[in-house]
Structure 1
Amino acid sequence: MEQLIRKMENSLYKGFIDQSKPVSGQFKPKLLSNRSHENVLTTLLQEMKTCKTFTFSVAFITEGGLATLKTMLYDLQLKGIKGRILTSTFLNFNQPKMFKELLKLENVEIRLTGIKGFHSKGYIFEHENYYSLIVGSSNLTDSALKANYEWNVFLTSLEDGEIIHHFKNQFEEAWDEAIVLTEEWINNYNLNYVQQPFVKQITSNVLQVNEEYLTNPLADSLSIQPNKMQIAAIEQLKSLRATGAKKGLIISATGTGKTYLSAFDVRNFAPKKMLFVVHREQILKKALQDYRKILGGHEDDFGILSGNSKDVHAKYLFATVQTLSSNRHLQQFAKDEFDYILIDEVHRAGAESYLAIINYFEPEFLLGMTATPERTDSFNIFELFDYHIAYEIRLQAALEEEMLCPFHYFGVTDYEKDGEIIDDASTLQHLVSNERIHHILEKINYYGYSGKQVRGLIFCRSKEETHALSAALNEQGLKTIALTGDNSQPEREDAITKLERYEIEYILTVDIFNEGIDIPFLNQIIMLRQTQSSIIFIQQLGRGLRKHDTKDYVTIIDFIGNYKNNYLIPIALSGDQSMNKDNVRRKTVNTNYIQGVSTINFEEIAKKRIFDAIDNTNLSTLKTLKDSYSEVKNRLGRIPTMHDFIKQNSLDPEVIIGYSNNYYDFLLKMREEIPSLTEYELAVITMLSKEILNGKRIHEVLLVEALLKNDSISKIDFIASLKEFGTYYDDETIKSVENMFSLNFHITNDKNKYGLKPIIELIDEQYQFNNELKSSLNDSFYKAYFTDIVSCANIKNQQYDPKRPLTLYKKYSRRDSCRLLNWAKDDSSTIYGYRVKHGTCPVFVTYHKKDEVDSSVNYGDEFLSADVFRWFSRSKLTLESKEVKAILAAEQTGLDIHLFTKKDDGEGFDFYYMGTTSIAENSPKEEEMFDKNGKKIPVVTMNMVLEQPVQYDIYHYLVEE
C-alpha cells in the first residue's frame, strides 16, 4: 500500500507540478483527446477490463456508443463484474431504441435522472485499493469516444481522496433520486418522443443524397460534385493519359464510388462513344442511372446491350459481358467504335469472354475497375493494363476519408456443448440444432443493429445449411429467405426487394452475394462460416459498407469456431499481408488501426481461438509465399526486391529470410532464372540477412551503407554518422559492431554459415570490406542484394527507439539480447531463464507453461500488477547462492536487469521486452517447490518492479489464459 501511495504522489507531482519528473505511467494524469493512438475508448476499455465495478454518468448515449462497449460488457458479465449507468432524456437526444439496447445489458443497472439540464460526462472505475476517473467532454457516443476532438482528463485517486469522494457523493445523490429504466417506461417515452433536428445531424454518419436526383436524374449534372478520393483519382487518370498511356486500373474499396468516379472521368474525357461492360444486368441498370446523373444529356444517349435490349447506336452503351462477347454482337462494331471503354469488376477479366472483348476493341483509353485485383489463379490483371495503376484506395483509407458507412465488428464465440465446438467437421445436425439456433439468436439480439428494423445478410457454409438454417430461424419467428446459386436472378432481386421493404428480416446465402451486388440498406451482416480467404472476408463485409440514410453504422457479427483459418480474420480486417505471426497477434490484441468511429471487438474466448489458430498455423508455407510473391511480381511486372514487398504492404522480408537463408535462395525457390553466385557471396548475404535486415540495431546498417558508397570509412567518421543519426554509441557498442562483422561474436556453426572470415575489417582505424567481397561488389547484380537488405533494415529500424539498445514491447530472442547488450560472444545457449554477465542480466520468462512441463521447472512466475512481476530463480538456489546475491545487489553494483516475456511456446523464440526492473524491498524469499519425484527443493522468489507499467494490450494478452 505504501508503494502505491508513493507512485500516486509521484504521478500527481508530474501531472501538476513538474512534467519532467520520471514516474510510472500507470497513475499519471493525462489528457484524452482522440488525437493520438490512445483515444478515449482505448482508456475506457482498459479501465473496464481491470476494474471491480464501474459507474457512468452521461447525458447522451447512442447505439453506436454502446456497441463499442458491448463485447467488454459481455466479458465482464462472465466474470461477475457489474456496473451502473445514469443518463437522462435531456434535449430528447437519447432515442427510444437506444434505451432498449441498454436493457440488454444484464450486468448493468440503468437509471434515469430528472435533474434539469443534466449534462455530465464522467466515468468512474473502482479498482483494488484505488479509483480511476475519466471526466470531460465525451458522452457515450462512438464519435465522442473515438473520433471527435474531445478534452477529457484521466485521474487516479486512493479511496480516501477528496475528489473521488466528491464525484461519488454527487453521483449517489443523483442516483438515489433517479428512476429505474424499464420496458414500460421506454414504451411511454416512445409514444411522446419527438427527435430534435440536431440529433440526426449529430448522430448520423450517413452521406445525404440530394433528393432532387431521386425523382429527376436529368437535373443539372454539375450539382453532383466528386468527393476527395474521386478528385484525386480523376487527376491521376488525367496525368496518366498525358504520358500517352492507353490503359489504366482503378483499385477502390467496395462502396467508395467507383461508378461515379468513372462517370466523372468520362465527362472529362468527353468521348464520341463510350462502352461500359459489366457481368450482371442488375449492375448495368444501376450504372446507367448513375451515369445519367453525372453526364446529363438526352435519354436516348444511354442504351443497353443485354437480353432483349439492343441499343447499339447509343452514345453511352452499357453491355453485359455475356451478350457482348458473342461473335455476332462483337462483329457488328468497328474495332475503334468506342473512344472510351470501362470494364467493371475487372478482376474477372481473365475469363475468355472478357478477353474476347478486350482483345477485339481498340479504344483511345481502357479503364478497369475493381475492389480486389488479387487473383487465386495465375492470370495477371496488372499486365492486362500495362501495369498502370491510376489510383488505389483500400478499406482503411476509405474509412479514414469517411467514404464508407462505419462498422462495428464483433468476433463472437460460436456454440459449444460438452466440449464440442463448431469446427470444419461439424455436421449439419450440429449446425442447425435448437441449442445453436438459440445461441445465434442470443448473439444477434445482444449486438443489435442500427435502424428501425433489422435488414440482414447471413453467410452460411453450404447450400444445405443455408436452407436448413433459414427454416429453423423461421420456426423461431424470424422472416428469412434462403438464396443459393440455384436461384435465378429474378428470385434474387425479389428477395432483395422484400428485404428493402421490411417484408423479410434476413437473406441467407452461401457465396453468391460476395461481390457485384449493391444492397446499401443492409444494417447487419452475420458470418456463420469459417474465413476461407481474406479477400472473400472483405468482400462479404463490404456488402454492408455503403452509406444509407436508414443507418448510422453496420453491425458485423462473426461466429468464431475452432477453425484452422481463424488467423485470417485479423489479417483481413487490418489489411496486414506480412504473414508475420507477431503482427497478426498484435492486430488481434490492439485494433486501434481501424479508422474513424468503426471498431473491432473480440470476445475473450473468440480471441483465444484466433491465438490458437495463429500458433498452430504455418503462415509461411511455400504456397502462401508463392501466392504473395506472384501477386507483387504481377503488380510490378518484374522480379520484386524485398523492399518492394514492404512498399506493397505484402510479405515481411523477415518471413522470407525465415523461410530461406537469403533472398537469392528464395528467388530460386520461386523458379526465377537469375545469375549464379559463389559460395562465399551467398554466405555474406546470408549473414547480412540474418543479422542486420531486422533493423534491431542501426549501427551495423549504417556501417554497411557507408561502405557501399565508399571503399572505406574511418572509425571517427563512423561514430560521427551514429551521432548524426541520433542514436546511442559508446566503446562497448562499437566493439560489439566490430565483433559482428569480424565474426568473433558468432558460434562455430554460424561462422561456417557466414564464410569463416571477417566481412568488414578494421585496418589502421579504417573500416573496409575484405578484398574478395570488394571484388564481388563490382557486380551491380550482387551489390543490389546488399542495397536491398540495407533498405529493408532502415525501414524496419524506424519502429525501434534510437536512444536505447532495447525498445519496450518489441520482440527479441536470447541471441538478440546477447548482441544488443554488447556481450562479446553469443552465449544464448547458456542463458536458459537468465544469466548475469557483462553488467547485465536478461531474464526470459514463458508466461504459460505447457501442462507436461516437469514440476521442477514449472515456476510460478506471474504479474502481480502491470508493473510488478513475481519471479522465481532457478530451482535448488537459496538467498546465499552466488547468482541470487548478484541479482539482489543490482542496485549497488549497477547491474541492469532486463525482463523479457512471451505468452507461450507457440510464439517461437522471441520474447516481448518489458524493460528494466528493480527488486522490491523485502520481497526476496526462500520458498520450496517439488521436483519430479515429489521431493522438496529450494527456490528464491522476488518481486521485480518494472521501470513503467506494461502497455495495456500486451499485459492482458500475456496474462490471460
Structure 2
Amino acid sequence: MDDSIRHLNDSLSWGFIDRHQESLDPYKPKLLVNNRDTGDYILTPLLEELRQCRSFTFSVAFITESGLAVLKSQLADLHAQGIVGRILTSHYLNFNHPKIFRELLKITNVEVRLTELSGFHAKGYLFEHSRHSTIIMGSANLTAAALKTNYEWNVKLTSFEHGGLLGQFHEEFDKAWQSAIPLTTEWIEAYQVLYEEVRKANKKMKAVVPLLPENANPYNAFVHIEPNRMQQQALQNLSALRSSGAARGLVISATGTGKTYLSAFDVKNAAPRRMLFVVHREQILKQALSDYRKIIGGPESDFGIYSGNRRDAQAKYLFATVQTIAKPEHLVQFAADDFDYILIDEVHKAGAASYLSVIQHFTPKFLLGMTATPERTDSFNIYELFHYNIAYEIRLQEALEEDMLCPFHYFGVTDYMRNGELLDDPSQLSLSEKELRVNYLMEKVEYYGYSGEKVRGLIFCSRMAEANELSHLLNARGYRTAALTGTDNAEERERHVRQLEQGELQYLLTVDIFNEGIDIPSVNQVIMLRQTKSSIVFIQQLGRGLRKHDSKEFVTVIDFIGNYKNNYMIPIALSGDRSQNKDNIRRHMKDTSYIKGVSSINFEEVARQQIFKSISGSNLTAFKLLREAYTDLKHRLNRVPLLFDYVENNSLDPLIFADEFPSYYHFLLKVKEPVPSLSQQEQQYLTMLSGEVLNGKRRHEILLLDMLLGQGTVPKQAYVERLREDGCRVGIDTLDSVMRVLSMEFFNEQTRKKYGTLPIVQLNDDQSYSFYPVMQEALQQQGYFKQLVSDLIQTAFLKNEQYDCKSTMTLYKKYSRKDASKLLNWDKDGSSTIFGYKIKNGTCPIFVTYKKHENVGASTKYQDEFINSEVLQWSTRSRRTLASEEVKLILDADREGIELHIFVKKDDAEGLEYYYLGQANYDGKSAVESTMSDENGNSIPVVHMNLVLEHAVESKLYGYLTRG
C-alpha cells in the first residue's frame, strides 16, 4: 500500500473509529474553531492550505472586504506562481456590499461567479494539492470575524482523488457553478442600484432619533460617553494613586485608546478648582478642549485656550501649547499653585527644556503624564519625573484584544524592482523609472484597497523631496493629493487635513510631521514608503489609522519593503517583542497569530524573504542596544534590574546576556554599574550557570539547585519525588547526566577553562546532594552572589515553561549539538565530534543545515531535502557506502534499538542551534549508494535514504524551512 494512502487510512481510523490510533497530523480530520487564548484561528489552516495548493475552490454565501483582505497577499503570491482558483458566491439577502464585488474583480487569478440558487448559504473551501485535496466545511463565511473571532465550527478533511466526499463536493459545486453567471462590471452596476434601494427602504423602517430642543447645550443634554473598560480600570488606579498621597502619575496607552477622554473623566472625578492641559500642537489642543466639554459639561466660558493669539488665562479649564506657555514672559503670569491638576500630553517629550520649565514652575496637587511610547534613546528618565507611579499601561496588542482600536490589515509588499533587483535607494532611479515605480506602487495600493466609500490616506515618505515629487506624479495621474513638510505652517496643515476629511483630497504625503500629534479618525489607508528605522516611529505611523470611525471597518496598512538593513524592525514593531532574540523575531514572521481581533499581518513572499535576510544579517545584540534597553528598564524600576525583571517587563531576552557576556554580572561591569566585587571562582560559577542552566532546556538542574538553595542538603529520594511531582523523567541515565553537568565532568577541556573545574554540586556517600564546599561558602559569605544565583534560577524556571519535562527534548524547540549531547545523557559533550551525526549510547542525533552556504566544500554539500512534511531525504557523510558499519547501524536502527533524532536549521545564519523535529525511522527501502564530487572533482561514495518522521513538521515551520 502506498505510504500516503496508509497514512490517510490511519487518520480516518483516528477520526472516525479510534482516537488512540497513531496518525500523522496533516491528514487527521480536525474541528477548526477560533480560540484567542491559544492563538488558534480558522484563518491559519486556510492560509496554509492556500499557500501550498495547486488550485482552490471556494463556495461562500457572504464575503466582506475584511475577509477578502486577509487573503489578498497570499492570492498575489499564487498569481505570481500561475495558480488560479474559483469563488462561487451570491447576493443572498443583499448582504454582500457592491464594493466587495469590485474588490473580487481586482484579483485576476480568481474566477468569480454568482449563483441564483434560492437560499444559497454554502460555506466550503477546497484546496487541491499534488496527491490529495483538503476540504474545509462548516459555518464560516469569508469574513474576518468568521475566520478569526466568531464562535464557528468547521471540519477539515483530507481526501485522495477517488474519495467519495470529494466527489460529492465537486459534483454539487460544478452543478451550481455551471448555472451561475460570471461576475462583471455591468452586473455590479445593476446590483449597486438594487442594493441602494434596499438600504434606503431599511433606513425608513428605523426609528427616528428625537431632536434636541432648540438652543439646548449639546454637551449638557446627554451623557452618552461612558468610560470603556480600559478607562474604568485606569480611573480606579488614578483614584487609588491620589488616595495614597501620590502627587504624580503616568498613563501609558496605545494611540487611539482614548487617553484624552480618560484624562477628562479623571478631571471630572478629581473636580479640581482649576486645570491646565499642556500639548505640543494647537490642533490637538482644540480637539482636547472639545472632548473635555463633552465629558465635563458646564458653560463655554469655563474652557479657554492659551496659544497663538488667545490668552484665556483665567479659564477654569485651560488648554495651552507648550511653545507658548513655556516662555518666561507667559509663565510669570501664573502663580505656582494656580492649577490643582495639570496634564502633560505626549509626555515622552517632557525631557525638553520647554516642558521641564512648565513642570518646574507649577506645584499642582496632581500632575498626570500621558504617552503611547515612554521609551527613549537619550538618558532622560520619564519614570523618575513621575515618581515611578505608572497608573495604567496598555499597549497595541492588548488594545486590539479589547476592541478599543480600529482593526487593521497590514500588508508587507515588495517595493519596485529594477531588473529583478530590489533597490537600496529608490531616489537614484531615473525619471522614466520613477514613473514606472509610481505605476507599480499605485497598482499595489489599488489592489489592497481600503475600507469605506472613499479613500482617505496618509503616505509616509523618507524625504521632503520625495513627498513633493510623488504628490506631483500622483496628481498627474488624476489622484488628488498634497504634500506636507516641516516647512508648512500650522494653518496650511489644518487646511489640508480638513480637505482630506471632507474628501477633497485622497492622500496627504508627509515625512515625519504626522507621526504623532495629529488626529484624523477617518484615515482608512496608511502607506509606508520609507524604511523602518525605529519601531516606535513605525507604531506611531501605524497608529494614525487606528482610531475608530463610522466610515470604515478597518484600516489598510501597505508597507513597501525594499532592500533595507533595518527590515527586521517590522516584526519587532508589529509584535511588540523587545527581546532582541532573533529566533523570537523569526517566529513572529512564521506565525502572525499573535495579532488579536480581526486584524491581520500579511507579507508577500519576496518581502517576507527580505525580512528574514535582514534578521539574519543584523546585529540585534549590539552593546548600544543592550545598554539602551537596560537603562530604560532601570529607569522604570528605579533600581538595577535582575534577569527576572526583563522577563516580567517583556524586555530583553535574558539569554542574550549569556550569549554576549560570560554572565549578566559581566554586563553590569561593562555598563559601569557599581556592583559588589566577585571572586574569579564566583564569576566562573555564574558563567557556567548562565551558559548551561539559564536557558531552561532541562528542568532537572534548575530544580535541584533551587532545592539546595532552600534546604542546603537534599536527599536523592526527595529530589526524585519532586521530579515525579513535576512530571519529569527520572531514569538513572538522566540523574547521572545531571550530576555530570553540575560536577563539570560533562564538559570538554576548553569549556572547563571558561567554567572552572570545581563542581557546583556533589553527591554525598549518604545519597544526598549538597553544594560543593567552595560554592556553599560563596553563597553564605557573599549575599550579592547568592542574589544573582537565585535570580538566575528563578529566571530559568520561567524559560523552562516552554519545554516538556516528560520528553528528552521538546518538538520544534532549538538545540545545539552540546544540548543534544547533554539531553541524550551522553557522558561527555560530543559537539566537537558529532558534525552531521554520531551514533552513541543507543542514540544518533542527525543535524541538517537545509540551505547550504555557497562556500561549503563539495564533499560536504549533501543533498538533504524534505520530500514532504513527514519524509526527509537525507545523505550520510561522504566516503560512506551501504557496507559501512555506521550506515548499516542507521539502516537497522529499529532492530539495533538506536533512536534517530532529527535536528534541522534553515541556514548558517541561525547560528549553532537547530529545530528539533523529533525521532525518525528509516523507511526500509529507499537507501541507495551514489557518488558526489570532492573538492578536486573526484567521485566519492555517499548513501541517500528517506527518514520518516514520527511527527509531521508543523506547517508554519515546514514552510519556513523549505521556502526561499
Q: Which TM bucket (shorter chain)?
A: over 0.9
Question: For residues 328 and 746 of structure 2, what CA distance do their matches in structure 1 show?
Answer: 71
Give the SS at the match of 1:163: helix
2:925 matches 1:911: no
How much does 1:934 deviate? Answer: 2.4
How much does 1:16 deviate? Answer: 1.4
- Identify the residue that residue 206 of structure 2 maps to in structure 1: none
- Partner deviation per Cα, 1:268-288 (whole Å, 9 max, x = no partner): 111111111111111111111
How much does 1:221 deviate? Answer: 5.5
Contact 2:891/2:924 (8 A) holds in 1: no
- Residues 725 and 905 of structure 1: is their aligned pair in 2 closer, same or farther, counting only changes over 3 Å? same
- Identify the residue that residue 344 of structure 2 maps to in structure 1: 343
- Identify the residue that residue 504 of structure 1 maps to in structure 2: 505
- Letter in structure 2 aligned against 1:8: L
- Residues 49 and 816 of structure 1: is their aligned pair in 2 closer, same or farther, counting only changes over 3 Å? same
Give the SS at the match of 2:126: strand
| % same residue | 55
Give the SS at the match of 1:86: strand
- Residues 667 and 211 of structure 1: is their aligned pair in 2 closer, same or farther, counting only changes over 3 Å? farther
- Identify the residue that residue 570 of structure 1 maps to in structure 2: 571
- Identify the residue that residue 947 of structure 2 maps to in structure 1: 944
Aligned residues: 954
- Identify the residue that residue 932 of structure 1 maps to in structure 2: 935
How much does 1:222 deviate? Answer: 3.6
Give the SS at the match of 1:929: strand
Contact 2:894/2:921 (8 A) holds in 1: yes
Further displaced range: 8-17 or 838-847:
8-17
Contact 1:132/1:154 (8 A) holds in 2: yes
Contact 1:818/1:826 (8 A) holds in 2: yes
Give the SS at the match of 1:218: helix
Question: For residues 45 and 728 of structure 1, what CA distance do their matches in structure 2 show?
Answer: 38
How much does 1:932 deviate? Answer: 2.3
- Identify the residue that residue 857 of structure 1 maps to in structure 2: 860
- Partner deviation per Cα, 1:207-251 (whole Å, 9 max, x = no partner): xx9998999541346432100100011111112122211110000
- Identify the residue that residue 834 of structure 1 maps to in structure 2: 837
Contact 1:93/1:195 (8 A) holds in 2: no
Question: For residues 708 and 87 of structure 1, what CA distance do their matches in structure 2 show?
Answer: 66
Contact 1:431/1:465 (8 A) holds in 2: no
Contact 1:818/1:828 (8 A) holds in 2: yes
- Partner deviation per Cα, 1:643-702 (whole Å, 9 max, x = no partner): 111111111011121111101100011121111100000000100000000000010000
- Identify the residue that residue 186 of structure 2 maps to in structure 1: 184
Give the SS at the match of 1:276: strand
- Identify the residue that residue 205 of structure 1 maps to in structure 2: none
How much does 1:855 deviate? Answer: 2.0
Aligned 1:256-295 pairs, distance under 5 A: 256-295=257-296
Give the SS at the match of 2:27: coil
2:15 matches 1:15: yes
Question: For residues 426 and 683 of structure 2, what CA distance do their matches in structure 1 show?
Answer: 46
- Letter in structure 2 aligned against 1:287: A
Give the SS at the match of 1:850: coil
Question: For residues 215 and 629 of structure 1, what CA distance do their matches in structure 2 show?
Answer: 55
Give the SS at the match of 1:567: helix
Q: 2:121 aligns with which of 115, 119, 122?
A: 119
Give the SS at the match of 2:867: strand
- Partner deviation per Cα, 1:824-870 (whole Å, 9 max, x = no partner): 10011110100111111100000011123222211111000011110
- Letter in structure 1 aligned against 2:492: E
How much does 1:21 deviate? Answer: 2.2
How much does 1:335 deviate? Answer: 1.2
Question: For residues 676 and 82 of structure 1, what CA distance do their matches in structure 2 show?
Answer: 67
- Residues 736 and 270 of structure 1: is their aligned pair in 2 closer, same or farther, counting only changes over 3 Å? same
Aligned 1:850-929 pairs, distance under 5 A: 850-929=853-932
Contact 1:430/1:436 (8 A) holds in 2: no
- Letter in structure 1 aligned against 2:349: R
- Letter in structure 2 aligned against 1:853: V
- Identify the residue that residue 206 of structure 1 maps to in structure 2: none
- Identify the residue that residue 450 of structure 1 maps to in structure 2: 451
- Letter in structure 2 aligned against 1:766: S
- Residues 656 and 215 of structure 1: is their aligned pair in 2 closer, same or farther, counting only changes over 3 Å? farther
Question: For residues 454 and 412 of structure 2, what CA distance do their matches in structure 1 show?
Answer: 22
- Identify the residue that residue 204 of structure 1 maps to in structure 2: none
What TM-score, normalized by structure 2, do the two folds share? 0.97
How much does 1:161 deviate? Answer: 1.1
What TM-score, normalized by structure 1, do the two folds share? 0.97
- Identify the residue that residue 550 of structure 1 maps to in structure 2: 551
- Letter in structure 1 aligned against 2:891: L
Question: For residues 619 and 453 of structure 2, what CA distance do their matches in structure 1 show?
Answer: 45
Aligned 1:181-260 pairs, distance under 5 A: 181-194=183-196, 217-220=218-221, 222-260=223-261
Give the SS at the match of 2:140: coil
Question: For residues 355 and 211 of structure 2, what CA distance do their matches in structure 1 show?
Answer: 37
- Letter in structure 2 aligned against 1:910: E
Question: For residues 542 and 614 of structure 1, what CA distance do their matches in structure 2 show?
Answer: 24
Contact 1:220/1:296 (8 A) holds in 2: no
How much does 1:308 deviate? Answer: 1.9
- Identify the residue that residue 601 of structure 1 maps to in structure 2: 602
How much does 1:431 deviate? Answer: 10
How much does 1:328 deviate? Answer: 2.5
Give the SS at the match of 2:565: coil
2:816 matches 1:813: yes
2:851 matches 1:843: no
Give the SS at the match of 2:566: coil
- Residues 464 and 855 of structure 1: is their aligned pair in 2 closer, same or farther, counting only changes over 3 Å? same
Question: For residues 107 and 719 of structure 1, what CA distance do their matches in structure 2 show?
Answer: 61
How much does 1:430 deviate? Answer: 7.0
Contact 2:405/2:548 (8 A) holds in 1: yes
- Identify the residue that residue 762 of structure 1 maps to in structure 2: 763
- Partner deviation per Cα, 1:338-380 (whole Å, 9 max, x = no partner): 1111111101101111111111111111100000111121111
Contact 2:870/2:953 (8 A) holds in 1: yes
Further displaced range: 220-229 or 777-786:
220-229
Question: For residues 62 and 713 of structure 2, what CA distance do their matches in structure 1 show?
Answer: 67
- Letter in structure 2 aligned against 1:295: I
- Identify the residue that residue 782 of structure 1 maps to in structure 2: 785
Question: For residues 201 and 74 of structure 2, what CA distance do their matches in structure 1 show?
Answer: 27
- Identify the residue that residue 669 of structure 1 maps to in structure 2: 670
Question: For residues 372 and 561 of structure 2, what CA distance do their matches in structure 1 show?
Answer: 26
How much does 1:158 deviate? Answer: 1.3
- Residues 425 and 760 of structure 1: is their aligned pair in 2 closer, same or farther, counting only changes over 3 Å? farther
- Identify the residue that residue 137 of structure 1 maps to in structure 2: 139
Contact 2:220/2:298 (8 A) holds in 1: no
Q: Which runs of 5+ in 2 are unaligned?
A: 204-208
Aligned 1:495-644 pairs, distance under 5 A: 495-644=496-645
Question: For residues 428 and 958 of structure 1, what CA distance do their matches in structure 2 show?
Answer: 35
- Residues 536 and 887 of structure 1: is their aligned pair in 2 closer, same or farther, counting only changes over 3 Å? same
Question: For residues 953 and 131 of structure 1, what CA distance do their matches in structure 2 show?
Answer: 19
- Partner deviation per Cα, 1:70-115 (whole Å, 9 max, x = no partner): 0110111111111100000000011111001101111111100010
- Residues 684 and 561 of structure 1: is their aligned pair in 2 closer, same or farther, counting only changes over 3 Å? same
- Identify the residue that residue 154 of structure 2 maps to in structure 1: 152
Give the SS at the match of 2:634: helix
How much does 1:740 deviate? Answer: 0.2
- Residues 428 and 261 of structure 1: is their aligned pair in 2 closer, same or farther, counting only changes over 3 Å? farther
Question: For residues 903 and 117 of structure 1, what CA distance do their matches in structure 2 show?
Answer: 49
Contact 2:427/2:466 (8 A) holds in 1: no
- Partner deviation per Cα, 1:369-410 (whole Å, 9 max, x = no partner): 000111121111100000110000000000000000000000
Q: Which runs of 5+ in 1 are unaligned?
A: 202-208
Aligned 1:462-501 pairs, distance under 5 A: 462-501=463-502
Question: For residues 212 and 419 of structure 1, what CA distance do their matches in structure 2 show?
Answer: 63
- Identify the residue that residue 310 of structure 1 maps to in structure 2: 311
How much does 1:194 deviate? Answer: 3.1
Give the SS at the match of 1:865: coil
Question: For residues 757 and 202 of structure 2, what CA distance do their matches in structure 1 show?
Answer: 72
Question: For residues 567 and 47 of structure 1, what CA distance do their matches in structure 2 show?
Answer: 27
Root-mean-square deviation over aligned CA pairs: 1.8
Question: For residues 116 and 859 of structure 1, what CA distance do their matches in structure 2 show?
Answer: 59
Give the SS at the match of 2:196: coil
Give the SS at the match of 1:566: helix
